[in-house]
Structure 1
Amino acid sequence: MPLPFPCIAIIPARYGSTRFPGKPLTPILGRPMFWHVARRAQASPSIQAVYLATDDERIAREAELLDIPAIMTSPKHSSGTDRILEAACSLDLHQDTVVVNIQGDEPGLDPHLVDRLVEPFLQPEVQVSTAARILGPEYAEDPNLVKVVRAWTGQALYFSRAPIPHTRDGQPEDVLLHIGMYAFRLPTLRRFHQLGPSPLEKKEKLEQLRLLEAGIPIHVVLTDHQCYGVDRPEDVARVEAILRKEQGECAQY
C-alpha cells in the first residue's frame, strides 16, 4: 500500500576521514561501497528516490557513472545530518516529506530496516525515528557502542556511551544498542539544524541528544538486523565475506 506521504533516502558520502580517507569509493566486491548502500536503499518499497550527498567531485563522478543521483554539498559540515539537510533543501521537497538518513558505510544494509524506520510516520505525531537491537550485557561497557533506553511507548528516554540503564543489584542485563540510522519529517530536520549543538550532545558526542534536550521525541523501532559497518580498511574483507555468503544463500532459492 502506498504511503500517504513522500519518502526519500539520502546517503552522506564524505571523502575526508581521519581513519579511512575516501571510504565511500572503497571497492566492495568490485563496486564502490556507496553503490551497495544505494542499491539496498532502493530495494525498500517505502523509498521513492535515493540520493548521494557528497563533498567530493570524485565521488560525484563515480556516482554518475553508476546512475546514482548525487548532490554536491559543502565540505564544512560537522555532521552527516547537516549534510543531509543541505541536500534535502536543494531538492525542493514537499513539507510532508520523510527524509531517511542512511549511513554510507553500511554495504550490508537491510531494506526491511528502512521500511521499519518509516512505518512509525503513519502516526502524525511522530517526528523522528531511529532503530535499536538487543545486545548482550558483555558489550554494555564499550563506549564505542551507543546504548539507548526507551519507554514502553517506543520513545527514547536517553542515549549514552555509558551502560544504561544501570542495574543497582549488579546483575548483568541485555542493553539496547542504538543503530545510527534516522528518519525525519522535513520541518524537524530543519529544526535540528537551527537548534545547534546542545550541552549533552557535546558531552556524549551524540547528536541525537540535541533533539531530546529540545523536547523533540525520537521513536525507537526494534530490529534483529545485524549491522556490518566499514569503519577501517581491515573491515572490508570481513564485510565482503558476509556479502558473498548472503549472495550464495539467495542463489539457492
Structure 2
Amino acid sequence: MEILGIIPARYGSTRFPGKALVDIHGKSMIRRVVEQARQATSLTDVVVATDDERIREHVAAFGATVVMTSPHHQSGTDRCQEVVAQVDGAYQYVVNIQGDEPFIQPEQIDRLTAVLDGTTELATLIKRITDPAVLLNPNSPKVVISAGIVAEALYFSRQPIPYQRDRPQAEWLQHHTYFKHIGLYAYRTDVLAQITQLPPSSLERAEALEQLRWLENGFRIRVVETELETVGIDTPEDLEKIMYNAQ
C-alpha cells in the first residue's frame, strides 16, 4: 500500500502569521512536524505543501520534500488534492497531517493507516472525552459514531451530542461516552478527488466543519480511537504554554 503523508503549511494564518517557521527549542514548527511524520512506518513519502516561498526555502534547506500550491485553497484537503496531482507515484491513500502539531506521535499516524484496506473511503481519529471543559468547548469538535466493530462517523458537531434531556449537564459524561475529533485525515485518492469538487454544504456552513460536507454527500468516514493526545498551536498563547511546559 502506497501512502503519501502531506503536511499543509500556510504562512498567512489569521491568528498566528508565520507560525510554521516559529522556533520551538531550536527547531521550526514545520521541521518538527516533518521529523515526527517521517517516523511513521506506514508512510511511503512525506511532503510539505505550502503557498509561501519562505516556507518552501526553509523546508528545502533541511532536506524535506516541498511542493508549492495555490494560495487560494480554502482547506488543507484542497491543498492535498493539488499535491497529489503534482507528485510522481501511484498512491492509494493520502494522510493529511496538521502542520501546527509539532509533537504529533508517529503511532497516531500508523494507527490511522492500519484501517486503510482499499475499501475505506475516508478515516480519522477520535478520542474519548473525560474532561467536561472539553465536552462544552465549541473549539473542540465532537463526533457521534456508529455501533459495531467497524465504527463510522454519523455526525460532527461543536456542541455535545447527544443532548441528555433528563440529566443535568454536569452528569453527562457519567451516562454516555462522548468522543472528540482529532483532525488527522486519511483519504483514498479517488475519493479525495471527488470531495474537493463538492460545493460547501448547509451542514458544513452551519458548523464550520468541512467533514460534514462529505457526510452530507454520502461519503463514509471510518473512525479510529486513540488514547494519545494532540497539541495544536493556533495562537502565540498556545506556543507560550508549550514552551513553558517543555522547560
Instruction: State the TM-score, normalizing by the size of structure 1.
Output: 0.90
Quote the RMSD (CA, aligned, Å).
1.4
Which position in structure 2 is the counterpart of 1:101?
Answer: 96
Percentage of matched positions with identical amino acids: 43
CA distance, structure 2, for counterparts of residue 234 and residue 34 of structure 1: 18
1:200 aligns with 2:203: yes
1:8 aligns with 2:4: yes
Which position in structure 1 is the counterpart of 2:165?
Answer: 168
1:236 aligns with 2:246: no
Which position in structure 1 is the counterpart of 2:142?
Answer: 147
Give the secondary-structure state (helix, strand or coil) at the position aligned to 1:64. helix
Q: Which runs of 5+ in 2 are unaligned?
A: none
Which position in structure 1 is the counterpart of 2:56?
Answer: 60
Give the secondary-structure state (helix, strand or coil) at the position aligned to 1:9. strand
2:128 aligns with one of 129, 134, 157: 134
Letter in 1 for 2:125: A
Structure 1 position 165, deviation (Å): 1.7
Structure 1 position 143, deviation (Å): 1.0
1:157 aligns with 2:154: yes
CA distance, structure 1, for counterparts of residue 237 and residue 26 of structure 2: 16
Structure 1 position 241, deviation (Å): 4.7
2:35 aligns with one of 25, 36, 39: 39
Q: Deviations over 1:46-100 (max 9, x none)?
A: 0111100000000000001110111000001111110111111101432x52100
Q: Which runs of 5+ in 1 are unaligned?
A: 245-253
Q: Deviations over 1:151-210 (max 9, x none)?
A: 123100000001112222214124201001100110011011111211111111000011
CA distance, structure 1, for counterparts of residue 77 and residue 243 of structure 2: 27
Question: How many corresponding residue pairs?
Answer: 238
* Moved beyond 3 Å, runs of 4+: 240-244
Instruction: State the TM-score, normalizing by the size of structure 2.
Output: 0.92
1:111 aligns with 2:106: yes
CA distance, structure 2, for counterparts of residue 151 and residue 143 of structure 1: 22
Distance 1:208 1:77, change over 3 A: same
Structure 1 position 242, deviation (Å): 4.9
CA distance, structure 2, for counterparts of residue 146 and residue 43 of structure 1: 27
Distance 1:52 1:202, change over 3 A: same
Structure 1 position 239, deviation (Å): 2.2
